[in-house]
Amino acid sequence: MPTLVMKFGGTSVATLDRIRRAAKRVGREVANGYDVIVIVSAMSGKTNELVGWVEETSPLFDAREYDAVVSSGEQVTAGLMALTLQEMDVPARSWAGWQVPLKTNSAHASARIEEIPTDNINTKFAQGMKVAVVAGFQGISPEGRITTLGRGGSDTTAVAFAAAFGAERCDIYTDVDGIYTTDPRITSKARKLDKIAFEEMLELASLGAKVLQTRSVELAMRYKVRLRVLSSFEDNDENAGTLVCSEEDIMESNVVAGVAFSRDEAKMTLLSVADRPGIAAAIFGPLAEASVNVDMIVQNISEDGRTDMTFSLPVNQIGRAEKAMAEAKASGEVKFSELVIDSDVAKVSVVGIGMRSHAGVASQMFKALRDEGINIKVITTSEIKISVLIDRKYMELAVQALHDTFGLDKAA
């Protein structure tokens, strides 16, 4: 029998009625001849509630016990989904991560998947089970403790199972009907994409698009797992949603696939830093040790042997970054005259595999922003993306202008 993986997010299983609706979708795929592996998240809001209980109980909590508590939400959903399928006369069984077993490393609260043996579930399929309902987001460490994969980890679980079992496809059911050229709440002209390449989706996910977790897209690209993102609240045919696939599977696409944005950014500049070998390591080493996620980096070198070093970071990590830089300065590792912080910026990016073979994308982007009177503070580029840092108050205007400039409301 061919295998299909179906993942249901928290909003898709938020109530018993929604679990029944999801179960009917699973039942239809069983009727179509598939053995189905269903990956479920916790019911909407449940993980936040469990995290809150942990933090209230123990502010400096033991990560192993944190995992034991927060993983329970998915187990509840898995059991309820299996019971619902059984009531529909669909042979189903729930599986906690440790029962599969989904083997991870020992990094509690942010574990990485190491192996998913297929024997246990395949044996049950051979014995007549048609649906394995697996609790997402969790696994088991080499020490035999429950681990969790980090927020959004159920997407990663689903893709990993699709890869391990050679599934025909991995369907991600969520509260949106696919992947759009940008957030429809920013511009009504946003268009749902029929297909998008892995690389484009990975860039969009890392730049702020929240439909898929970044790690899940990385995994799908590595193992060529065809992903389909679709709504659990609409009736879907076989062409519904958005297919995330290899570039070779897309006949023709726009030069730019989408516009992504990240609202909560900050810009930090170290003024008058000595321009010497190793200075970048002296700055960014302490930031990494402080778990500061540095993104865009610009270095301006002057004639007197001094340099200004500018970088962007999430606005909620400013305190950690300030502390790390103050300690580095006190130790003598880094000398600078002033630390300047701008906590009111946003990052806007255009992404598209067509940029590899089309010149002038940067020129179009910068002209569109100029015409709207938007000043660019920092620019970074890669093979298939261009990102700029701008004043936050202009973010929505920039997204709308770029969406219009590249004609993203029209298919290629």
Tell me whether strands 113-115 and 146-148 are parallel, antiparallel or unpaired. unpaired
Integer CA distances (angstroms), 219 to 93, 160, 192, 201, in order: 26, 7, 23, 12
* Contact between residue 155 and residue 174 where contact means Cβ atoms under 8 Å apart: no
124 carries a ligand binding annotation: no
Q: How many CB atoms lie within 10 A of CB 248?
A: 7
210 carries a ligand binding annotation: yes
7 carries a ligand binding annotation: yes
Phi, psi angles (nearest 5°) of residue 125: -60, -45
- Residues facing residue 261 across a β-bridge: 348
- Compute the distance between CA of residue 150 and CA of residue 145 in angstroms, rounded to an integer: 16
103 carries a ligand binding annotation: no
74 carries a ligand binding annotation: yes
Integer CA distances (angstroms), 58 to 47, 94, 151, 254, 280, in order: 16, 31, 20, 51, 38
174 carries a ligand binding annotation: yes
Phi, psi angles (nearest 5°) of residue 233: -110, 5
CA-based nearest residue to 201, from 247, 254, 251: 247
- Compute the distance between CA of residue 235 and CA of residue 325 in angstroms, rounded to an integer: 53
- Compute the distance between CA of residue 146 and CA of residue 62 in angstroms, rounded to an integer: 13
8 carries a ligand binding annotation: yes
34 carries a ligand binding annotation: no
Residue 292 Cα to chain centre, angstroms: 18
84 carries a ligand binding annotation: no
Helix (H) or strand (E) holding 39: strand 35-40
* Contact between residue 309 and residue 219 where contact means Cβ atoms under 8 Å apart: no
- Compute the distance between CA of residue 29 and CA of residue 4 in angstroms, rounded to an integer: 8
Residue 164 Cα to chain centre, angstroms: 21
9 carries a ligand binding annotation: yes
CA-based nearest residue to 102, from 61, 72, 147, 58: 147
Task: Name the binding residues for substrate.
Answer: 47, 74
Task: Name the binding residues.
Answer: 7-10, 47, 74, 174-175, 180, 185, 210-211
Task: Name the binding residues for ATP.
Answer: 7-10, 174-175, 180, 185, 210-211
